[in-house]
A and B are shown apart, each in its own frame.
Chain A
Amino acid sequence: MSEASPILEVRDLAKSYGGVRAVDGVTFTAARGAITGLIGPNGAGKSTALNVIGGFLSPDGGRVIFDGEDVTGWPMHRLARRGLVRTFQLARVFGGLTTIENLLVAAPGHRGESAWGILAGKRYWGKQEEQLVLQAREMLRSFGMEAKADEFARNLSGGQKRAVETMRALMMRPKLLLLDEPMAGLSPSLSRQLEDLFLKLTGEGMSLLLVEHGLDTVERICGKVVVMAQGKVLSEGRMTELRTRKEVQDAYVIG
């Protein structure tokens, strides 16, 4: 794959619920090493689009091309292993695991999960586990949550759970991360930190597709922004341009 080709290409994607065309012929691309924004009023079909791209829902029509490969209709776990990882609009943590375990469990290719790893025990996977613990602690520190490392995730606040979900996704070292409103419920200072982190990650080659309501955030960190309304792509471009476009203003009251 050449560096110029998009990491994600969505062609004519369609998904209906009953009679409602939640996603109605959506086409857009997301660039490699950049943050692409997906915005639109409530009910525009952003989350449905994300659910189809991420493999939670299968599309009624259209194609999803990820990293040059047609991944339309792949199950979520297969996409995740290939490097397309998503988070959920309502944070979903593993409540019976501790915060740090929520991160550790996401590490891809853990030797301890292989048949041989189960048989052979710690001497086979212990080193890898130690490395992962260091990595997970580092990430907890950067999110200011190191004090919660050994807390059961079910006891965390809503914002903390959301942060755990983001950290867990990052532990997978995805190529493309689909984030469904990662800033919701976070304190302003933490969400600014998160913005910086996302920019840093794209600098390291990761690509992000971000559904977000906070348009200031979108303006600060997104390269291209795709505007959806009523299941269709209404417009796309940089946030500063979009604010001036009539059709966007009509569909989406921009603050």
Chain B
Amino acid sequence: MGAWEFYLVVILVYLGTDLLAAWGLNLEFGVSGVANLAFIVTIAAGAYAYVVFTLDTPAAGGSFQQYVGGFHQPFPIAVVAGALAGSIVGVLIGITGLKRLRQDYQAVAMLVVSLMAATVVSADTPFLNGNAGLVLLPQFTPFSDQDPETRRWLFVGIVAATCVIGYFVLRRFTTGPIGRTLRAMRDDELAASAIGKDIVAMRLAVQGVGGAFGGVSGALLVAFIAGWSPGAWAYIETLALLTAVIVGGMGNDRGVTIGTFLIAILVLQGVQFLPQSFNSLRLGLREDMGWILLGTLTIVFIWVRPQGILPERRPKYGGGP
């Protein structure tokens, strides 16, 4: 496998896992109005769950890293565990936003949750090996008997299949009567409860489902990169997904798909191809260009095209005379 072919595999896996995450965030934020700035924590939860379900016990691994669990389970079970972990963490995050806080305060509260979670995991080494993170996962677990090249492409296939299933599940929530009701909650919570909608139950349900998307995304990502540490899930990663949602078109699944491609691939990968000389202007500028571009794009879109590339569309029922 040539370097370019390997790079293509990396890009495709990143795109797939980013899509799952961005769709989950769009369900929460774009469709339901829950500004979950702790979304990355659901991804982290899925990734860690995958790790501790895949690895053998710490003692069996020579005790050089510490973690809870070590269940030594096959790939599919570990991914399902990741989905569940993401879902549970999503609901827990949701509870922080339930007090009658205004939406902007909720966003801040969740951002703080994100920072706290990273701090706690970093500080508590016996839990998930702290700041050093967890490594030495058996890479591409599902097809260990295949040669490496085939394994990689089979893994791309798994990610693609998961995306297809994920998109189908997503559409079940963002379209039809339930999609309509969630958007009503987004537009006006008070009026929604006045027509009998249970806001608390809906918010928690949405964060459970969105969290499952994050969890699967994290599980697949960590299955590919074979290591996971607090550095991989800084709060700022949520902002990259948020930019994808805002640029693509809040509440529009197809728009968010385009937005994710644009942000995760064109921008964040594109900056890697900027000339090294960028760094002679200012140290680390080339690496930071991705974040600079993301922030700029968010501001430009909020000013000039707040509805995003593909605006939210609603079904037509016709109103003939």
Interface string of A128-144 (1 = CB under 8 A from B): 01000100110010000
**Interface check B195, CB cutoff 8 A:** yes
**Interface check A148, CB cutoff 8 A:** yes
102-123 of chain A: CB within 8 A of chain B: 102, 104-106, 108, 110-113, 117-119, 121-122
Is A97 touching B195 in the complex (CB atoms < 8 A)? no
Residue in B194, B315, B318 whose CB lies within 8 Å of A85? B194
List B contacts of A147 (CB < 8 A): 319, 321
**Interface check B172, CB cutoff 8 A:** yes
Q: What CA separation (Å) do A42 and B271 show in the bound complex?
A: 62
Is A168 touching B195 in the complex (CB atoms < 8 A)? yes
Is B317 touching A80 in the complex (CB atoms < 8 A)? no
What's the dominant secondary structure at chain A's contact region?
A: helix
State how many angstroms separate the Cβ of B60 from the closest Cβ of chain A. 40
Q: What CA separation (Å) do A32 and B82 show in the bound complex?
A: 55
Is B190 touching A118 in the complex (CB atoms < 8 A)? no
**Interface check A54, CB cutoff 8 A:** yes
Q: How many residues of B contact A (CB 8 A)?
A: 32
Interface string of B143-186 (1 = CB under 8 A from A): 00000000000000000000000000000110011101101101
Is B178 touching A117 in the complex (CB atoms < 8 A)? yes
49-81 of chain A: CB within 8 A of chain B: 54, 56, 75-77, 80-81
Is B317 touching A137 in the complex (CB atoms < 8 A)? yes
Q: Contact residue range for chain A?
A: 35 or more
Is A56 touching B319 in the complex (CB atoms < 8 A)? no
Is A150 touching B319 in the complex (CB atoms < 8 A)? yes
> Which candidate, A88-96, A204-212, A235-243, is the interface stretch facing chain B?
A88-96
Is A113 touching B178 in the complex (CB atoms < 8 A)? yes
Is B317 touching A150 in the complex (CB atoms < 8 A)? yes
Interface string of A150-164 (1 = CB under 8 A from B): 101000000000000
State how many angstroms separate the Cβ of A154 from the closest Cβ of chain B. 8
Closest residue of chain A to B172, judged by CB? A118
List B contacts of A47 (CB < 8 A): none
**Interface check A222, CB cutoff 8 A:** no
List A contacts of B5 (CB < 8 A): none
Knowing A125-B177, A149-B319, A152-B314, say if A172 contacts B195 (CB, 8 Å): yes
Is A110 touching B177 in the complex (CB atoms < 8 A)? yes
189-226 of chain B: CB within 8 A of chain A: 190-199
**Interface check A166, CB cutoff 8 A:** no
Is B317 touching A97 in the complex (CB atoms < 8 A)? no
List B contacts of A165 (CB < 8 A): 191
Knowing A88-B194, A146-B319, say if A117 contacts B177 (CB, 8 Å): yes
Q: Which 6 A-B pairs have the closest CB atoms?
A: A112-B177, A149-B319, A80-B196, A92-B191, A94-B187, A106-B195
Show 11 residue pairs from A and B whose CB-CB distance is below 8 angstroms, ordered by the A residue.
A54-B194, A77-B194, A77-B199, A85-B194, A85-B196, A97-B314, A100-B319, A118-B173, A149-B317, A150-B316, A150-B318
Given contacts A96-B187, A133-B317, 18 further A-B contacts (CB under 8 A): A56-B190, A56-B194, A76-B194, A77-B193, A80-B196, A92-B188, A96-B186, A104-B177, A105-B181, A110-B177, A110-B181, A113-B177, A113-B181, A140-B319, A146-B319, A148-B319, A149-B319, A150-B319
